[in-house]
Amino acid sequence: MLKDRTHGGVIYFDNAATSFPKPQCVTDAVIRYMTQIGANPGRSGHKMAIEAGQIVYKTRKSIATLFGLRNPMHVIFTSNATEALNLAIKGVLEKGDHAVTSSMEHNSTIRPLHEMEKDGTISLSIIQADKTGILDPQKIRRAITTKTKAIIINHASNVIGCIQPIREIGKICRESGIIFIVDCAQSAGVVPIDIDRDNIDILAFAGHKGLYGPTGTGGMVISDGFDFKRIKPLKYGGTGSFSDKIEQPDFLPDRFESGTLNVAGLNGLLAGSKYIQKREGGIERILEHKTELQNYFIQKAETFVKDFYCYSSSQLPSTSVIAFKINSYSVSETTQILSDRYGIMSRQGLHCSPLAHKTIGTFPEGTLRFGFSIFNKKEEIDLAVQALKSVSEGKRT
Amino acid sequence: MKAVILFHSTNHAIWAEDELKSNNIVCKMISVPRHLSSDCGYCVQIDTEDKEKATDILNTNKIEFEKIETL
């Protein structure tokens, strides 16, 4: 058995699914709301309701700052990035429209698009990335037709961690008057993003991965200059505004935020968002740190682990989401051994991204995946490499 | 003398409070007085003498508000 484990006796490398542990301030913030504030934001005028409303506002403002947005009302909270992507995709695309996406998308993008294609609402072009997962913006340009309304691209792969040239793709969208929707589920809090400079119209983010908030948090961010009335709401209902009317309000954020928000989660997200933005070196340093960890792992594993094969590149900046396998073992078997015998948490399979696995040549079996967080250390990677070495040599230590 | 700024959304009321305080306007969130609106949320109370300056700040930040009423 391995010694010196952290985080309650385990080594947690499943941060691409959700980050763990969370900073203590995140847990404290959730507890503070649950024990001291508790009220419904925007539904009454008492002191506790106002404080709950202030939490939601401060979280909006912190997320706006993170993405270089001026108007905090353009931050719309959803339960996760999947809901935000569904809202953006279904809200923007209409009968007869054409959409362009890529072979690196998560099912949160490809499934709503595929459903809309299947029921005859839209036509869809899926642009093939190369084996390293990177898209050629010129291929995207060539797929544009007179009916193309939106281009939807995954910023950082949840399978191999590669980062797409979104600024360049966004420029093509700007030049062609096409709406650019970016899935930032894996990149928010890891890769610096500026909604204006990166030419993004709408982005979706997860609150519980690189922003270290609780699960059940995420959102859609609309650029300051984008006409938000081009997006139809996904949900209709109570907003605490214009309660005398049965029409949905047409201003932000109420247009898209019906029903009581997850304020406990948002207070945690606020703490997480502030935590990473205040870290020395900011988001740039987080990306450097993750790239260092990724390269360290790949180099060590390639040296010591028999039959190790890695699909993520050590030559490019990365969100430290690493797809690999030990060729002599099935990925499910390796994951199980890592968890049961060594207390190392990883994820195996297709990671909800069948097209990405087809792109890198690992469909249908999939791969193992490690995803490092800001809290992971080289010592933990050393222990994991030692465990993988034992597995690859068939040892049952 | 006090005045209140009424908003269509409590989201905007809280945003306004933040911007007004950042610009050194003394303000307070209070329940919307029933004689002014049937809405059940909150509004921002300011000193009447700050009405003009507050209006400028709200307009500069493009914060939509319904009206300003002197109490």
Q: Token pair 């009968």 is at which residue?
A: A95
What ipTM describes this predicted complex?
0.91
The proportion of chain B whose per-residue pLDDT surpasses 70, expressed as a percent, equals: 96
Q: Which element (helix H / strand E) includes A202?
A: strand A202-206
pLDDT at A154 over 70: yes
Q: Domain coordinates of chain B in residue numbers?
A: 2-63
Rg (CA), chain A: 21
* Angle, CA A21 vertex, CA A19 and CA A25 arms, to 5°: 105
Q: Token pair 């606020």 is at which residue?
A: A270
Between chains, do B11 and A243 touch, taking CB under 8 Å as contact?
no
b/e B11-39 (16+ beta carbons within 10 angstroms → b): bbbbbbbbbbeeeebebebbbbeeeebeb
Tens-digit pLDDT profile for residues A181-213? 999 999 999 999 999 999 999 999 999 999 999
Tens-digit pLDDT profile for residues A217-249? 999 999 999 999 999 999 999 988 888 889 999
Nearest CA in chain B to A241: B9
- Mean pLDDT, range B53-67, rounded to an integer: 95
Residue A8 confidence (pLDDT): 65
Between chains, do B40 and A41 touch, taking CB under 8 Å as contact?
no
How far is the C-alpha of A212 from the C-alpha of A350, rounded, in Å? 24
Q: How far is CA A263 from CA A185, A217, A276, A284, B43, in A?
A: 20, 9, 20, 29, 21
Partners of residue B70 on adjacent β-strands: B3
Nearest CA in chain B to A238: B9
Residue A3 confidence (pLDDT): 45
- By three-state DSSP, how is residue A334 classified? helix
Tell me the backbone φ, ψ of residue B38, rounded to 5 degrees: -90, -5
Higher pLDDT, A127 or A43: A127
Higher pLDDT, B25 or A350: B25
Residue A348 confidence (pLDDT): 87
Closest Cα of chain B to A71: distance in Å?
Answer: 8
Between chain A and chain B, the number of residue pairs with CB atoms below 8 A apart is: 66
Q: Does B44 touch chain A (CB under 8 A)?
A: no
Contacts of A253 in chain B (CB under 8 A): 11
Say if residue A190 is exposed, middle or buried (CB neighbours under 10 Å; 0-12, 13-18, 19+): buried
Residue A1 confidence (pLDDT): 41
Q: Does A254 touch chain B (CB under 8 A)?
A: yes
Residue A162 confidence (pLDDT): 94
Q: Which domains does chain A have, with CATH numbers?
A: 24-278 (3.40.640.10), 281-392 (3.90.1150.10)
Residue A397 confidence (pLDDT): 43
- Homologous superfamily of domain range B2-63: Hypothetical protein rpa1041 (3.30.70.1530)
Q: Which of A190, A200, A154, A172 is nearest to A66 (CA)?
A: A190
Between chains, do A57 and B11 touch, taking CB under 8 Å as contact?
yes
Closest Cα of chain B to A77: distance in Å?
Answer: 13
Residue A395 confidence (pLDDT): 59
Between chains, do B41 and A44 touch, taking CB under 8 Å as contact?
yes
The distance from CA A61 to its chain's CA centroid, rounded to whole angstroms, is 19
How far is the C-alpha of B39 from the C-alpha of A243, rounded, in Å? 7
pLDDT at A279 over 90: yes
Residue A366 confidence (pLDDT): 92
Closest Cα of chain B to A41: distance in Å?
Answer: 8
Residue B40 confidence (pLDDT): 62
DSSP states of B51-64 = HHHHHHHHHHTT--
Beta strands at B27-31 and B42-47: parallel, antiparallel or unpaired: antiparallel
Interface test with A, best of B6, B7, B14, B42 (most A CBs within 10 A): B14
How far is the C-alpha of B28 from the C-alpha of B47, rounded, in Å? 10
Q: Give the pLDDT band of residue A2 (cuts 50, 70, 90).
A: very low
Report H helices in chain A. 24-32, 47-66, 81-92, 107-118, 137-143, 166-176, 263-278, 282-304, 331-342, 354-360, 378-392
Average pLDDT, chain A: 94
pLDDT at A73 over 70: yes
Give the end-to-end CA distance of chain A in Å, rounded to a whole number: 7
Between chains, do A50 and B29 touch, taking CB under 8 Å as contact?
yes
Residue A55 confidence (pLDDT): 97
The proportion of chain B whose per-residue pLDDT surpasses 90, expressed as a percent, equals: 80
Q: Give the pLDDT band of residue B36 (cuts 50, 70, 90).
A: confident
The proportion of chain A whose per-residue pLDDT surpasses 70, expressed as a percent, equals: 97
Residue B64 confidence (pLDDT): 93
Closest Cα of chain A to B49: distance in Å?
Answer: 24
